[in-house]
Amino acid sequence: MPTNNVLNRNFEELFSAIVRYEIPFFQRGYAWEQRQWKKLFDDIDNEIFESVEDNNFENAEHFFGPIVVLEKISQHPSLKRFLIIDGQQRITTIYLLLSIIRKLLLAKTHLSTSAQAYIEKLDSWLINNLNDEDEYLKLKVFSTKGDRLPTFKALFDRNPNSIHLSEDQLLYDQNTNKVDEFIKFANKKIKTYDVPQLWQLTQAIIKSLKIVWIPLDEKKDDAQAIFESLNDAGMPLSASELLCNYIFKPLTNDATNEHERLHNEKWLKARREVGENNFEEYLRNLFSIGEKKRIGKERRMYVHFKIKNLRINADTAKATLDKILSYTTVYNNISKPIMCPHGNEKIKRLLIKIFDTNMSSINPFLMSLLKAFHNGALTEAETINVLHETFVLLVRRKVTKLPVTKYDTFFPSLLDKIINEPDKKKAFHTQVQTEQLWVSDQEFELAFQTKEIYNSRELNFSRLILQEIDRSMQQFGELPDYSTINTIEHILPQTLNDHWTVYLGEDALNINLPVIINTLGNLSLNSPPANSSFGQKPFAQKQKEYTDSSALARDVKARQEPWNIVAIEKRSKDLARKAIKIWSWSM
């Protein structure tokens, strides 16, 4: 980084000119949180106010960090324009805080003759006195990505007259915007200050907080690369923020502002479609499609994309944005199959069942499969068959508790290996068997007798197994409402009381009993109200009180005493035979 013209400056110098400090598009939005806000106020109190003498704030210096800038050509003749490469959070926070002080002073003009003079001075620091149709030019700190509207409202308490207003209103979410959050925080801190206290705070901010001003040379310096390296020292950029910056680098055009339109219509729309908290995982799965291995989380996802697209151009960037938006629906079908159901009823039901296996490592494959169906590359029957066989494979391996690490290398490129085969289901079987992922009937049956089916951390999967077996045992065609029969009952209780300890005899001392209690043979389904009443009641009493709505409960009622390890193992074996038929491959 160049060091020519590096200066120590304060915010009075920064804000005195007609100037716009612009947050470039490749930066994130305003992101500081309470930890940083609290530190700022603590530093002002402890480092400035405690050291200032005779209100000489120029001598009470406190270093506030660097601000790295790149001067750009301004279309307005009297306006200087700087891009903030590093220091966005600092300069935005100070600008907002001064705006809050100004608003509080406006409310106190009737209390002090000095208030109006202070407001006029703040106006000179905060507002560009320009006669222009776009009122955003009045702002000296100018951002995008949903921040410039609340910044303008913090200063003027109204919407701007601007061609950008309608798009900003779409971007701006008052419930999540950090600008609004800071305004609430700061108001709470200083709302009781009187006029002299507010002006003292202003002096501390504008004169005592010192920054190092570092100008870049546009011809020599890569502003985005410098920004990424500097940001690692503060609040590191997330993988999706880095990716956004990289994709939009060849698209950024100050003359057309096409990048803002694409950002709103493609990137932000995709982010909203899948949800903020799911977006990086979505991108990870999307970029894993067709790869030899599912790509890593967080920054590894960004690095993977960057390596694959080292010379990204505008066409590639636009195609990537189209792809990011186009897969959101199928991802939601997979990751939220009940809230965002697939339009095909049979596919929807299979996706719900696959979701309950909690095997997200197969999502790249599922996304590619559903997209191929949507595009007409797969028929409905082919899609349903492959989904069913996938479901069977997942259940068999999960019940047997076999390793799933191979899924990361098996599934991402699986569709490419089967899509051109005439029999997709057979091709799927071949791939599974080639990779030695299939589970035999013998292994599957033995697992039901020796492995825990009940898992408190994966209750959805435990319920899935029991409900599917219960369905197969229903005799009269009409199935019960499984949303009301959704509680798993341990026939032999998980915690033994004195009665059960005596009842079991030597079995109570068996070291394998904690596992056996959670195997298939000891489990049933009941409604939550009924289940809460069973607890540690004796086996004979449970048999009398179990309802007939669950076939599994009826099966228990038909069993003979004693209810011990032998009885549980026999029932596990009986039910396992049913499970083999339910989760079988139609070869």
Residue whose C-alpha is closest to residue 302's, from 251, 242, 363:
242
| Domain match, 452 and 510 both | yes
| Domain match, 169 and 277 both | no
Does the residue 248 lie in any domain? Answer: no
| Domain match, 129 and 229 both | yes
| Domain match, 471 and 426 both | no
| Domain match, 413 and 298 both | no
| Domain match, 189 and 219 both | yes
Does the residue 1 lie in any domain? Answer: no
Most confident of 72-76, 85-89, 106-110, 332-336: 332-336
Does the residue 420 lie in any domain? Answer: yes
pLDDT exceeds 90 at position 2: no
pLDDT band of 312, cuts 50, 70, 90? very high
Residue whose C-alpha is closest to residue 118's, from 103, 96, 136:
103
pLDDT exceeds 60 at position 230: no
| Domain match, 122 and 184 both | yes
Does the residue 228 lie in any domain? Answer: yes
The single-letter code of the amino acid at 387 is: L
pLDDT at 527: 81
In whole angstroms, what is the distance from residue 423 CA to residue 381 CA? Answer: 11
For CA atoms 181, 186, 189, 193, the dihedral sign is negative
Model confidence over 357-401: pLDDT tens digits?
999 999 999 999 999 999 999 999 999 999 999 999 999 999 999
Domain boundary among 386, 406, 439: 439
Model confidence over 396-417: pLDDT tens digits?
999 999 999 999 999 999 999 9
In whole angstroms, what is the distance from residue 431 CA to residue 428 CA? Answer: 5
Model confidence over 280-305: pLDDT tens digits?
999 999 999 999 999 999 889 999 99
pLDDT band of 1, cuts 50, 70, 90? very low
Does the residue 245 lie in any domain? Answer: no
Helix axes 380-399 and 441-450, enclosed angle (nearest 10): 50
pLDDT at 208: 94
In whole angstroms, what is the distance from residue 133 CA to residue 162 CA? Answer: 7
Would strands 141-142 and 80-86 be described as parallel, antiparallel, or unpaired?
Answer: unpaired
As a whole number, the mean pLDDT across the chain is 91
Residue whose C-alpha is closest to residue 300's, from 414, 408, 407, 417:
408
pLDDT at 227: 61
pTM metric for this prediction: 0.78
Domain boundary among 326, 357, 379: 326
Domain boundary among 439, 457, 482: 439
Please answer whether residues 500 and 492 qualify as being in contact, where contact means their C-beta atoms are separated by less than 8 angstroms. Answer: yes
Print the domain residue range for 350. Answer: 345-439
Residues with Cβ within 8 Å of residue 114, at least 6 apart in sequence? 195, 196, 199
pLDDT band of 481, cuts 50, 70, 90? confident
pLDDT at 5: 67
% of the chain residues with pLDDT over 90: 69
Model confidence over 483-513: pLDDT tens digits?
888 899 999 999 999 999 999 999 999 999 9
Please answer whether residues 454 and 462 qualify as being in contact, where contact means their C-beta atoms are separated by less than 8 angstroms. Answer: yes
Exposure string of 191-214, with b = 16+ CB inside 10 Å and e = fewer, is: eebebeebbbbbbbbbbbbebebb
Residue whose C-alpha is closest to residue 69's, from 24, 122, 128:
24
Q: Rounded to a whole number, what is the distance in angstroms from the first to the last CA of the chain? A: 65
In whole angstroms, what is the distance from residue 498 CA to residue 483 CA? Answer: 34
pLDDT band of 232, cuts 50, 70, 90? very low
| Domain match, 496 and 530 both | yes
In whole angstroms, what is the distance from residue 544 CA to residue 557 CA? Answer: 7
| Domain match, 403 and 535 both | no
Domain total in the chain: 4
In whole angstroms, what is the distance from residue 185 CA to residue 338 CA? Answer: 38
| Domain match, 400 and 478 both | no
Helix H, strand E, coil C: the string for 338-383 is CCCCCCCHHHHHHHHHHHHCCCHHHHHHHHHHHHHHHCCCCCHHHH
Does the residue 252 lie in any domain? Answer: no
Model confidence over 62-96: pLDDT tens digits?
999 889 898 888 778 888 999 898 889 999 999 99
How far, rounded to the nearest angstrom, does the alpha carbon of residue 195 sit from its chain's CA centroid? 44
| Domain match, 28 and 140 both | yes
Q: Which whole number is the average pLDDT over 34-50?
A: 93
Model confidence over 515-547: pLDDT tens digits?
999 999 999 998 877 777 788 899 999 998 888
pLDDT band of 228, cuts 50, 70, 90? low
Does the residue 93 lie in any domain? Answer: yes
Does the residue 339 lie in any domain? Answer: no
| Domain match, 23 and 160 both | yes
